[in-house]
Amino acid sequence: MAQQAQNISQYINDVNQSLLQYFDITKSTITALNSSIEKQLETQKQQFSFINYNINSLNSSLQNQIDGTKYDIKNIQSSITGISGLINNINNVNAVQNTDIQALKTSTSQNKNGAFWCSMLKGINSSYSFIEGYCPNLKLCCKVNGILKDCQEGTNAKYTEAQCGTFIYI
């Protein structure tokens, strides 16, 4: 009986020793796994931090490009508005000049006193350049020796620029 008790006691001691060794191995394994997991988490944290930095940089760059494009579009819109305004002004001036000139042409055809209408037209449209010694195929007038004279279509004016100044279109 004493032998059996001793055998059981030895068996229990062996089992306890095996369990202690097993728990030590398990503890070491868990510690190693925890350390490995912590390292992996730290690596992933750094990777996510880098990815987040890159995303923020890209967002900032894209926002700058969007803002720059918006600014460019506003400048283009302002330029278009300005050009449209200039075109409208030119069209308005041309319309007024054409109306005035047409009215004066009509009046001139009714009243053959061309010199009178030349004086009325002085400055309305002086954009036609002088062609020395020749009157283009437009009804023109100029001042010669202080007197306003008509230039008939297709005739040679025989006037110099100094005598005539700028031809005035009627």
Spatial neighbors of 134 by CB under 8 A, at least 6 apart, are 156, 157
* pLDDT at res. 85: 81
Strand arrangement of the beta sheet that strand 147-151 belongs to: 147-151, 140-144, 168-169
* pLDDT at res. 104: 52
- Specify whether the CB–CB gap between 165 and 142 falls below 8 A: yes
Task: Domain ranges for the chain, please list them.
Answer: 1-94, 111-170
Whole-Å CA distances, 92 to 7, 97, 104, 169: 123, 9, 18, 19
Which of 144, 169, 139, 138 is CA-nearest to residue 159? 144
Tens digit of pLDDT per residue, the chain (170 long)? Answer: 778 878 888 888 888 888 888 888 888 888 888 888 999 999 999 999 899 999 999 999 999 999 888 888 888 888 888 888 888 878 777 776 666 666 555 544 443 333 333 433 444 444 433 333 333 333 445 555 555 455 444 344 444 444 444 444 33
* pLDDT at res. 99: 64
